[in-house]
């Protein structure tokens, strides 16, 4: 039997049961399950890994609980600047957007950039202009307004700091998906609203192929969530693929080396989701928790939030 599977994440960081009400925990798990189901339905019906990761990330972008799409945090000027990327493992084609406002689903814009332009990464007003010309759906600012996010921003403004998604400890707000389809093709996608109160058009690792997102049919597909500056410097997603391709280590071992050794040594916190060409899945993180879930073949969905197995 040919293996297929999907894994998703909704961010990592200081995520403890003591910071979560039962109602909020149930809501997060429903959001993760909805995204997993959206992607898995495509895979089990013979659809592509590319369609599956886009569908899963769209579901997460549409859920205001996650810092991407509708749930994106506020910048220093009270706007929403979103980043996303997508990559296919068969051709190594990739598309990405950075610093876009008003786009309902940045992951769809990233895919359109990959498929309909001659470029990999478009940013700011140029990316928005391309999106409009391509018929990408936009929403008004009110669509992206969330009282919880607004209060985070007000608190950050008062303290004059840049915050990582929420004030009760650190949370690296990003969403992502990786998948292997029945044809043996891998794909990965990542989307984020960035950091609360961010200035100067700051961009993290999410829209950068090789740092926050990577897919290669010879090795694996990766989507990262963490302190983006560290993930950029460590070229995390590509590093895992390289360890597998050039040193012959397993997906699990490559993830351990990068997430729990290399990143930790120079202060990088966060995690990632990964799937290899055999369908093995790894979800490592060096923070206290990570919103995550996965389904292999037609097994039941497994969803976790805290630092449990």
For the question of whether the overall pTM of this predicted structure is more than 0.75, the answer is yes
pLDDT of residue 166: 41
Report pLDDT digits (tens) over 52-88: 999 999 999 999 999 999 999 888 888 899 999 999 9
Cβ 185 vs Cβ 200: under 8 Å: no
Annotated catalytic residues are 174
pLDDT of residue 167: 41
Q: Which of 220, 192, 197, 225 is nearest to 276 (CA)?
A: 220
Using CA atoms, how far apart are residues 277 and 3, in angstroms rounded to an integer?
Answer: 9
Q: Crossing angle for the helix pair 49-61 and 22-44, nearest 10 degrees? A: 160
pLDDT of residue 147: 76
Report pLDDT digits (tens) over 207-226: 999 999 999 999 999 999 99
Residue 85 pairs in a beta bridge with: 96, 190
Q: Which of 192, 31, 186, 22 is nearest to 96 (CA)?
A: 192
Q: Provide the residue count of the chain.
A: 309
Report pLDDT digits (tens) over 160-174: 655 554 444 556 689
pLDDT of residue 217: 98
Using CA atoms, how far apart are residues 157 and 161, in angstroms rounded to an integer?
Answer: 7
- The domain 5-304 is placed in CATH, from the list 3.40.109.10, 3.60.20.30, 1.10.1200.120, 3.40.50.300, at 3.60.20.30
pLDDT of residue 246: 98
Q: Give whole-number Cα distances, 66 to 45, 70, 152, 166, 201, in Å.
A: 27, 8, 14, 11, 21
Paired tokens of 105: 């689903």
Report the range of poorest mean pLDDT among 36-40, 92-96, 98-102, 146-150: 146-150
């Amino acid at each position: 039997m040919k293996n297929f599977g999907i894994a998703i994440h909704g961010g990592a960081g200081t995520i403890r049961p003591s910071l979560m009400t039962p109602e909020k925990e149930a809501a997060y798990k429903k959001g993760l399950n909805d995204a997993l189901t959206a992607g898995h339905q495509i895979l089990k019906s013979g659809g592509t890994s590319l369609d599956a990761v886009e569908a899963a990330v769209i579901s997460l972008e549409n859920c205001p609980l996650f810092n991407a799409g509708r749930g994106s945090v506020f910048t220093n000027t009270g706007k929403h600047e979103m980043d996303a990327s997508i990559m296919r493992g068969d051709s190594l084609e990739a598309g990405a957007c950075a610093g876009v406002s008003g786009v309902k689903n940045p992951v769809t814009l990233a895919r359109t950039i990959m498929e309909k332009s001659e470029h990999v990464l478009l940013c700011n007003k140029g990316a928005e202009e391309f999106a409009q010309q391509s018929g990408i759906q936009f929403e008004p600012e009110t669509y992206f307004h969330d009282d919880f996010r607004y209060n985070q921003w007000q608190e950050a403004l008062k303290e004059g700091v840049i915050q990582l998604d929420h004030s009760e400890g650190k949370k690296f707000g990003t969403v992502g998906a990786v998948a292997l389809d029945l044809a043996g093709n891998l794909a990965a996608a990542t989307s984020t609203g960035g950091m609360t109160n961010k200035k100067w058009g700051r961009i993290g690792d999410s829209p950068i192929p090789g740092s926050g997102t990577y897919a290669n049919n010879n090795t694996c597909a990766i989507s990262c969530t963490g302190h983006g500056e560290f993930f950029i410097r460590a070229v995390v997603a590509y590093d895992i693929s390289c360890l597998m391709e050039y040193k012959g280590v397993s997906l699990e071992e490559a993830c351990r080396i990068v997430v729990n050794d290399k990143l930790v040594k120079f202060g990088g916190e966060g995690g990632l989701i990964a799937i290899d060409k055999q369908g093995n899945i790894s979800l490592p993180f060096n923070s206290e928790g990570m919103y995550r879930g996965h389904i292999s073949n037609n097994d039941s969905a497994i969803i976790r939030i805290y630092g449990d197995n």
